[in-house]
Amino acid sequence: MSKVQGGINQIVTDGLVFYIDAANHKSYISGSGDTSDSTTYSLVNNLTGSVSSSVNYNTDNLGFFSLNSIGKIEAQNPYSTTYTDLSFACWVYVGTLFDGGAPYGTNNDIISKWDTSGNNKVFKLQISASSNSIGSVSVQASNNGSTETSFVSTERVERGNWYYLVGCHDNINQKLSVSVNGSAFESTDYSSGIKVTDNQVKIGGIDAENSWSGSIACVQLYDKILTDTEVLQNYNALKYRFNL
């Protein structure tokens, strides 16, 4: 496998079930100059993601996907039928945020295993906006697929910046947690568990909706809870790419 500096050879691979990186031509062929490819390939587990035609590839920061609230990547489900712990992690650039009103309200969904039809809400990582330029990182989880619990952290992000965001559901310690840029997790108690279902993972929205108006460079999905040390390792492995 060709190596992108700070890539899969340096991030935490224990429990890693899905990993795409726009900068690695093994993951997305546009990384080698083709800007018309409609499939992205996980660097683990031989899974793929379907890239909608409205997603654009940009060569800055070694490569990233621009979604602009109209694009989305739908990934094959990387989780077994027995998962209970989830960690969703990604490098994202914050664009103009939805801060109220139809159809998204203040929800800016980055990664989701979340379908409102068929009672298949599970877990999602998002930004809850207080204005179109500032928001708080949050997660939502559902134990029955229809109703959800939200945890909005005190960690804030601003339009025009790159961030490494991580959201976790910890079934053992019964927590929902968020980390921003390698910081120690901020958590809240959550003992309800999550629904186990085989629906796809969506990058850039939920259902047929595309609510993420920024960009995404990498997505890392784990079937375990990352530790504070592991999150910091992942952040340090790629921060140079985003001038952090």
The pLDDT score that the predictor gives to residue 6 is: 58
Mean pLDDT of 51-79: 91
Q: Give the rounded percent of residues in the chain with a pLDDT score beyond 70.
A: 93
Report how many helices (DSSP H) and strands (DSSP E) the chain contains, helices first: 1, 18
Report the mean per-residue pLDDT for the chain.
92
DSSP 8-class letter at 241: G
Buried b (16+ CB within 10 A) or exposed e, 26-37: bbbbbbeeeeee
Residue 75 pLDDT exceeds 60: yes
Give the integer Cα–Cα distance in Å for 180 and 165: 5
SS3 for 60?
Answer: helix
Least confident window among 9-13, 83-87, 226-230:
9-13
Cα–Cα distance measured from residue 113 to residue 201, given in angstroms and rounded to the nearest whole number: 5
Could you tell me the pLDDT band of residue 102, with boundaries at 50, 70 and 90?
A: confident
Find the helix or strand (DSSP H, E) in which 77 lies: none
Segment 139-145 shows an average pLDDT of 96
* Mean pLDDT lowest among 69-78, 175-184, 225-234: 69-78
Q: What is the pLDDT of residue 112?
A: 97
- Among all chains, which residue has been given the structure tokens 């840029």? 181
Give 238's Cβ-side CA count (13 Å radius).
32
Q: What does the pLDDT average to over 48-56?
A: 90
Look up residue 189 and give its amino acid. D
Of the pLDDT bands very low, low, confident and very high (cuts 50, 70, 90), residue 3 is very low
Confidence (pLDDT) at 2: 33
Of 1-10, 101-110, 124-133, 175-184, which gets the smallest average pLDDT?
A: 1-10
Mean pLDDT computed over 24-46: 81
| 71 band by pLDDT with thresholds 50, 70 and 90 | confident
Give how far Cα 142 sits from Cα of 165, 172, 232, Å.
Answer: 20, 16, 27
For the cut 90, the answer to whether the pLDDT of residue 157 exceeds it is yes
